[in-house]
Structure 1
Amino acid sequence: MRGRRFEDDRRASTKKSSVQPKQKRIASLQQMALTNNPRPSVALDAPCIHNLNSSSRFYLDYFNVRICKLFILCDSDNNPFRHLLTYAMDDVPLQKCIIAVSARHFTNTGQSFDQTHIDMAPRFVVANLDALHFKRQTIQAVTRALNGHEISRKDTLLASIFLLIFLDLLESGIDGWNHHICGARGLVNLGSSLLDSSHDQATKGDMKHQPGDMVTETRVFISRQLNLISTLGEALSGSQSRSEEFPNFDGEIKHESIVRSFLGCPELLLRAIRYFSSQRDFLGDLNSQTNDSINDHIRDTMLMLDMTRNFDCQQWASRVIALTASEIEIQNFFLLANAYKSAALIYGTRIFRAFASPVNTPISIQGTENETLVSELILKIQLLAPDEIFFKCLIWPTFIAGLECQTENTRESITALLRGLWNFTSCLNVINASRILQEYWQKQDSSDDLEKAHQEIEVMGQGWLLI
């Protein structure tokens, strides 16, 4: 029926203009949607691709050109997202998931930051239907595989779950992602270890085209990104979504978590954010705690704030350049690390302020200090805004800065940055971040100090994945 509806729309358009042949229409869409086309993935030359219809081939090509560079800091021939295309040639659920992600992103490009519910052109309406159709098929296939305990396919299943999280970012970034994280956690536990190579390498159907280092690197990449996602997602979620870290396999790939991450946030800062986030569980049960226990948590939080404040971004940036031999300016890596450092400090001080010690333990974080942090963070983000490679990584820091904005000028700056991020990413979680902040600012402006303190914790427990 979808095909018939498409034909009906096309016939209706002939009243005003002639209709191009289907192949020309696909080529026209490609020319419009695919810019700066890199060298095609080897997977796209596979014979099985030629058996797919033109729409599916377009979405796979779209993934290769647009999506692979969107969700990673530094694009390269060794981009792990392009490796997933190779694995998808023999795994239908992963292939459908890739198509769903591409179709959703293509649909989003037909919307604007201010008007996400406007009537879309027919090509985007069709893409929206494709995204829903292939997402449904992917979830059904993954569910069947998990219920059937198909351990032999755990790598490609985990990759599908991984991409479903990115699909959620494109759709909203609210709530759905944490269910996928739980599914990934269950799959890892089911298989005992992501690196159980003795079993996996003997399994014919599991990522068989690129055995050895390629499979290992992809597993490491996915596990690290899932850990990063759970860390930043849980920082804005309730305690029910809290989980332990995913296995972090350092092995021989020391620089992967920096350059092959889609955010590039330094590991120490991620651990600081995870620690501050975990303190919210303690804050939720503060009335039942003893004074000594509260004071211990205050002291530990202060120590973590000091460790974060003393993190050397310049040294980190220099190490990144040394490890990767990248030609990208060290200044951009420095600004990126600094942005996450400032965001982690702002997030930590919000947690710190929430401690209401019954023995009146002095809390030294002053409003002016956080105002300075916000101003500095906004400046760092603005300096990176012209560079799409780094700017697209800064949704979370931008949102955290927005939570502390007190003046109309700073709020307008945050909104402008979010608008720019939408233009680069076409992820609907960016628009939702703006909407959440607008509602939060209105509440803050009309609330007294006690209500504001409650809202500070409440806004960090809503289940948002804003990355």
Structure 2
Amino acid sequence: MTSIYGEVIDGTWAYLNGMIADVPCWTCQRRRLRCDNLKPSCVKCTRAGLKCLGYDSQKPLVWVGRPGRPKKAVKGSKDASPGSGCSTPDSAVAKRIPSPGNRLPSPNEPGVSEYLSYCTFNVPRQPGPRGRGYSINSIAHLDYADEQRCCVECNIYEQGSNNPFRQFVLLRESSPLVHHTIVSLAAHHRARYSTPLSWPRQFTSLPTDAAHGEDVDDKAPTQLLASKHYADALVHKKQAMHHLQLALSRNDTSDAVIVSTLLLIWVELLESGYKYWRHHLSGMRALLCSRVRSECSSNSDKHDAASDSLGSFGGYFEEAFVVSVRHLQKLDLTTIYSDVTLVEILQRAEKRSWAGCPAEPLRILCCFNSLSARMASSSESKTEIYECVVALFDQLESFSPLRWAANHPESSQAEQRNHLASAYKIAIEAYGHRASHVRGVGDMEKKVEEAVGHLEKINPQDSHFKGCLWPAFVIGAEARDDSHRLAITSILLNMYDLLQAKSVERGLEALERLWRRQSQLPGGRCWLDIFYEEGEELLLV
């Protein structure tokens, strides 16, 4: 009898037969699951976020941990570090964290003790039993962070091996703290990615004042709670907080500790986006100040040389801290850095930061915050402060986004750089008027329309789009026309699809409440004062 396969419906069956393997893939065999046998990668592995090892006749070699049989756990032993098959004393964990000459004078250093108290309060005495080694899930999360999404989001211009976040990933080999922090970060990102944001929403009340300790609804949606990635994220976050507590109690200010502090800010923005990030940001500030004082007292030349190096962790920490303080709080950076040092930091950040803001407008923004803090806390002459404010507006007006955009090695980037810089310039001008309570000159609504036009011309698929978050929020707060508000909403929804951060969702909710309030009470107080009063603590970076 002649076979009919390959002759039915013009060979469709033969085509399907070529897509189905005769044996299960090696990944499903390892996991002892029934495979769907689809080539080149089975659906079950793809949905689980795992690498399908394929259907070759030869079993592939895969690194699954240290060779040899794991030792039997000793009763009363401490938790093992990632990648080890036996328990490790706490002292050995501390020794593996590199800390060449970076030690705090005392755990009672101002700011550090408060951060230690926060970490102690928010972590159990012993970490949970899961996630102690490089499991398949951990490897998948690390690959997601390094190659697929997370590290790519941290630079406007991807620099490969010079991307500081890719260098951070390398520290996981020697630091359990960095390992658990990165795994938690990637797992949070993957969990959010599987939980699309539904919009618009209906809001019934304004946010409560965080300063009085009242709760805001931080409940995670049911779909997110059901995600296995979310469970991994919480487990590894607890592990990271435990190791951070140990490091702070031992006066450790190594690169690994500050890396984890920076990444934990990101974790909080992904998880809730509400107020908890400020503990890590304040802790990072205290650790940086203590570390700089310690290094400068021992060898100032060495510190200066390290800060000027493109691959320097210390230099990047300063850049990340300065760029991250663009939240709605009046932080005076002049109490930490001199004017010259601040300019140097911002110039470095311009090249390798995710913000994409030119150094000069960002310096002016920092000056607006400093002057605003001086106006609120000192008896300094208002006339002198007003003259400084006017001088800052003159400096901002003289900044040319077009000239700045053209000053780049790749001419193809000039158009997008111009749009982003122009949006930042208008947003900083609007913020400066609100923060200094100086009435603007000209029609702000026309400038808002111009800024919205620039933001809309930046494609969400373009690398410059990730820098639009802060200017889009400020322009949205200034917007009065419904078409401008709809445009900003669309931009922020696309931003959520990119960053998967709960903080972006909270920013959208804050704008919705502000717009509703402005429609009910037209001509009221400025949006910045409203956010201060309502206790909004948004970190939109």
Query: TM-score, normalised to structure 1's length?
Result: 0.76
**What do the CA deviations read for 1:197-227 (whole angstroms, capped 9, x no partner)?**
989xx9xxxxxxxx99989523212221111
**Shift, 1:387, TM fit:** 3.7
- Which runs of structure 2 are paired with 1:353-432 in the superposition (5 Å)? 354=437, 363=439, 365-366=440-441, 369-432=443-506
Aligned counterparts of 1:105 and 1:373: Cα–Cα separation in 2: 35
Aligned counterparts of 1:294 and 1:213: Cα–Cα separation in 2: 37
Deviates further, 161-170 or 241-250:
241-250
Q: 1:95 maps to which residue? A: 179
- Which runs of structure 2 are paired with 1:35-74 in the superposition (5 Å)? 52-64=134-146, 65-74=148-157
Alignment counterpart, residue 49 of structure 2, candidates 24, 27, 30: 30
**What do the CA deviations read for 1:284-318 (whole angstroms, capped 9, x no partner)?**
46xx968xx22332222121112112112223223
Q: 1:120 maps to which residue? A: 223
Report whether the alignment pairs 1:266 with 2:346: no
Aligned counterparts of 1:145 and 1:226: Cα–Cα separation in 2: 20
Q: 1:134 is aligned with what amino acid?
A: H
Report whether the alignment pairs 1:164 with 2:164: no
Q: 1:38 maps to which residue? A: none
Report whether the alignment pairs 1:225 with 2:327: no
Report whether the alignment pairs 1:456 with 2:540: no
Aligned counterparts of 1:63 and 1:412: Cα–Cα separation in 2: 32
Q: 2:417 is aligned with what amino acid?
A: F
Q: 1:76 maps to which residue? A: 159
**Shift, 1:265, TM fit:** 1.0
Q: 1:445 is aligned with what amino acid?
A: S
Q: 1:370 is aligned with what amino acid?
A: M
**Shift, 1:370, TM fit:** 1.1
**Richer in helix (by share):** 1
Aligned counterparts of 1:96 and 1:246: Cα–Cα separation in 2: 32
- Which runs of structure 2 are paired with 1:143-182 in the superposition (5 Å)? 143-151=245-253, 154-182=254-282
Tell me if the contact between 2:270 and 2:503 (Cα under 8 Å) persists in the aligned partners.
yes
1:125–1:215 Cα change, 3 Å: same
Q: Which runs of 5+ in 1 are unaligned?
A: 1-16, 34-43, 203-210, 356-362
Q: 2:158 is aligned with what amino acid?
A: D
Aligned counterparts of 1:289 and 1:250: Cα–Cα separation in 2: 25
**Shift, 1:448, TM fit:** 5.4
Tell me if the contact between 1:335 and 1:380 (Cα under 8 Å) persists in the aligned partners.
yes
- Which runs of structure 2 are paired with 1:191-202 in the superposition (5 Å)? 191-192=291-292
1:238–1:158 Cα change, 3 Å: same
1:254–1:345 Cα change, 3 Å: closer
Tell me if the contact between 2:224 and 2:230 (Cα under 8 Å) persists in the aligned partners.
no
1:60–1:312 Cα change, 3 Å: same
Q: 1:139 is aligned with what amino acid?
A: M
Report whether the alignment pairs 1:312 with 2:411: no
Tell me if the contact between 2:402 and 2:418 (Cα under 8 Å) persists in the aligned partners.
yes
Q: CA RMSD in A?
A: 3.8
1:121–1:93 Cα change, 3 Å: closer
Aligned counterparts of 1:283 and 1:390: Cα–Cα separation in 2: 35
Corresponding residue pairs, total? 406
Query: TM-score, normalised to structure 2's length?
Result: 0.66
Aligned counterparts of 1:66 and 1:246: Cα–Cα separation in 2: 33
Q: 2:152 is aligned with what amino acid?
A: K
1:32–1:107 Cα change, 3 Å: farther
Aligned counterparts of 1:138 and 1:306: Cα–Cα separation in 2: 46
Aligned counterparts of 1:406 and 1:254: Cα–Cα separation in 2: 32
Q: 1:59 is aligned with what amino acid?
A: H
Larger Rg: 2
Aligned counterparts of 2:293 and 2:183: Cα–Cα separation in 1: 28
**Shift, 1:140, TM fit:** 2.0
**Shift, 1:26, TM fit:** 4.6
Tell me if the contact between 1:173 and 1:428 (Cα under 8 Å) persists in the aligned partners.
yes
More RCO (CA 8 Å, sep 6+): 1
Aligned counterparts of 1:113 and 1:136: Cα–Cα separation in 2: 26
Aligned counterparts of 1:252 and 1:244: Cα–Cα separation in 2: 16
1:400–1:96 Cα change, 3 Å: same
Report whether the alignment pairs 1:108 with 2:192: yes
Q: 1:228 is aligned with what amino acid?
A: V
Q: 1:128 is aligned with what amino acid?
A: Y
